Each structure stands twice: as C-alpha cells, then as structure tokens.
Structure 1
Amino acid sequence: MPVFLAGIVVVLSHVPLGQEVVKRGIIFIDLAIAQIAGVGVIAARLLDVDSAWGTQLFAAGAALIGALILVFTERKLGRYQEPLIGILFVLAASLGLLLLSHDPHGGEALKEMLSGQILWVTWQQVAVSSAVLMSISVVWMLFRKRLGHAGFYLLFALTVTTSVQLVGVYLVFASLVIPALAMRNVAERKWRAGLYWGWGIGILGYGAGLTLSYHFDIATSPLIVWALAVCALAGFFISSNSARFPTKK
C-alpha cells in the first residue's frame, strides 16, 4: 500500500509539470535534473552524510544549481536549449560515474539512483514526500501562468529532487513524459481534460505494474515503466476515437 500511494503521489504531482515539458519540447529536462540531483545524493554519500534531510539538501542544492543554469541558457541561447539539456545530462551522468569510480558499492548506488528502491518505501517517506510534492503541484497549478521560466525550472528541480529518491530516475522520467505525451491532443483542446486523462493513465499504470510484479516476481520499476507505456497507448487510442466521434447533446 505505501508503494502504491507513493506512485499515486508521483503521478498527481508530475503529470501537470509533464504537460509543460511536452508543450515546451524540452523532453530531457527531467533526466538532466534528476541526474544532477543524483550527483548531489552521491556527493552526500561520499561525505558520509547519514541523515535523510542532509542527503535531501545536497540533492536539492545540486538540482537548483542545474535549474539556474537552464534558466540562464534559455535566456541567452533559447533555440539551443534542448541540446544543452542533453549535454548537461551527459556531464552529470559522467560526473556521477567519476565520483563512484573508487566506491566498492558504486554499482549498487548507481542502480538505486536509476531504478530506485520503490519496494522499500516507508509510510514516513510517503508522508514527507506527499507534503512536498503536493504543495509544489498546487503552487504550479494555481500560478503556472505567472511563474515564468525561472519559476517553472525551480519548481521542477524541487519536484524531481524529491521524487528521484522515492522512485528513481527511470520512473521520474516515465511519470512526467509518458502520460502527458499520450494526452497531448486532449490537453491542447482542454487542459483539465488532458490532466484528468493523464492522472488516470499514470495511476492505472502504477497499479498494473505493481500487481504484475507481485504475481510474477519481476523487477518492479522497469515493469511499471512498461505498464505506463501500454496504458498510455491505450488511452491515446481511446481519447482519439472519443474526439473523432463526439456525443450528441
């Protein structure tokens, strides 16, 4: 139950931001920011920071630095933003490998960062992460038109920082992009409808992935990613047919 609730919280908080990511065409921003936050986690590990809050501060600090870099590059080199995001991701990933090169448990740490430890999520983690993620989500949904580029990047960095330690880089990317991309045609006509469809796809994907993982004893995070993709594909076809044949009043 805490694992499923963690998934619901991630979906509810990530789909609204994912719509903006797809709209702007900066698909790999979540991977870049998540990877930068991961470097912060690795740095905390190497400095023997034991507390969860200490690790969170390292991750948030790194992600905010990455967000400020992207704010600067968008203002100065906006047309090249997508390749710059890709370069930032590669640099952060390479830095993480360099930092872990002399760590005997580096491979395990890298796996945890990418695929997460979603099966070991506790009620306390869910409560703390829910408070942070839902607060950010409410701010974005209420003030998204006033926040501008800097506000978007900073809220995005804080969101990814929290969720990457909860579910890992792969699920953060999948939760942000897959439902939002599948429902882009709906969101273009009506933003709230696209949001509701995206939430439904995300929650169904997490539920299906967890159920299949439990019954067939398969790795959970990768299976949820595939379940999200399948549910998104089904949702795309259903919503497209619904739009093609509108109901009569």
Structure 2
Amino acid sequence: MTIDKQDGPYEVVRSPEVTRRLTLLWDPPEPKTRGRRATLTREDVVAAAVALADEGGLDALSMRRVASALNVGAMSLYTYVPGRTELIDLMIDRVYAEMDLPRAGTQWRPALAQYAREHWTLYQRHPWILQTNMWRAPLAPHVLDAQEAGLRTLIDAGPTERQVVEILGVVDNFVQGQARTVIAEDREKESTGLDSDAYWTSMSSFWVDFFDVERFPTMTRIWNAGAFDEPQGTFESSLERLLDSIELTVERARAGS
C-alpha cells in the first residue's frame, strides 16, 4: 500500500544513514558475532540504556557507560547498535511499547483522555524522552502505534482530517508542557530543598519592595480578587478543561456536517 498526497507525487530521498536507522527499527538484522556465541542481545543493550537514562537523563547516556553497565567492552556494543542516535531511537520505541493505548471503537472523549494520560504517565516514568525533539520522534513501530491510536480517537467523531491533526497536536503539546513543568519543579526541589510554596515565600519581599501596581494594573486587580491564591490546577483538572474545549469543536463540526 502507498500513501498518495493530494498535490501529487513527491520525491523520495534515501540515504544509507536513514536506511540503516529505519531498518534497525523495522527489520533489524541479526548481530554478526563472527562465529562467537553472543553474550548479549540488542534488547539487553536497549534495556541498560533506558535504565541509565531513567536515572541520569540523556546526559548520562553514552556507549561507554552502557557497556560498563553490561560489563562488556564499549566496542562490542557496536555489534548490536551502530551508535548513540540509533540507540536512542530504540530506547524511545521500547518505552512507547509500555503504553496501554485506547482501543478502536471507544468513544472519542474517554479514548482521547486515555491517550493523554498514558503519555503523561510515560513522561513521568521516563522524563528523558522530553529531552529529545518530540517533533522529530523516531519513525518507530510503537511510536506510530501511539500516533495511530490518537488520530483514531477523533477520525470518525466529526472533525475534518485537518482538524483531527490540529486537535491531537494541541493535546500532545498540553501533555508535554504539563510534564515538563512537573519534572522541572521536582528537579528544583531536589537541588534547592525548597518546594514551590517555600520558594515563593522566600521571594515574598519582592511584592513589597519592587512591585509597581501602576505598571501592572491587571495583575494587581487579579491579586486583589484573590485569584492567585487558588492552587495550581492538577493535570486531571486541566485535562478535563481541555477536553471540554475539544468537545465544543467536535459538536460544531458535527453540526456543520
């Protein structure tokens, strides 16, 4: 099966590097051990790399450190993975396989909520994923399974195909932004010993010594109304508000069709 674009055929570019990278994800060759019995599997290498990244982020990931964790020489890893870029591709595909994705036929709102929650949980479990460029996620089997599941939640709900892509992009950006905020806050708390409340208490002199009510009248008005006293919305409450907005778009699309 081929995918046709509305504006006609387009150039297909193949390079040895890209072909090698994609082949490793979709049709990986057996490691060549030159007659020796393999002491590792590619899955062993990927699992060790994921464990290192879970503990110290991608900055802690190198072929040498993975080899050390496996008690083998660094050069032996290249039997299984050509390099760090390909290794990260395999790591992302491996952890994406952990998600419980919404099944076909599920109503769009609970399905989309499940899609969002599974990504949220994934980022909490493996925060190093967000150190990568999510707009250039590897074209890997389980990554595309997740995207397929997300698109499937809305494709027959009423919105046009373009709207489906836009909505899913909004959901992805929302979840990634929320996850980055929580992860950054956890790291700040760990490094400084101050949680969010303690930090803002430590900065409280600013409002008396430097804040200018004439320069920031809107902020002052909201402050006086006590709106800033409300606790920051949780992921779940924010997700529900987002789904409410998407529901309006879905209903509008159905009415228009």
Q: TM (normalized to structure 2)? A: 0.24
* Larger RCO: 1 or 2 (CA < 8 Å, sep 6+): 1
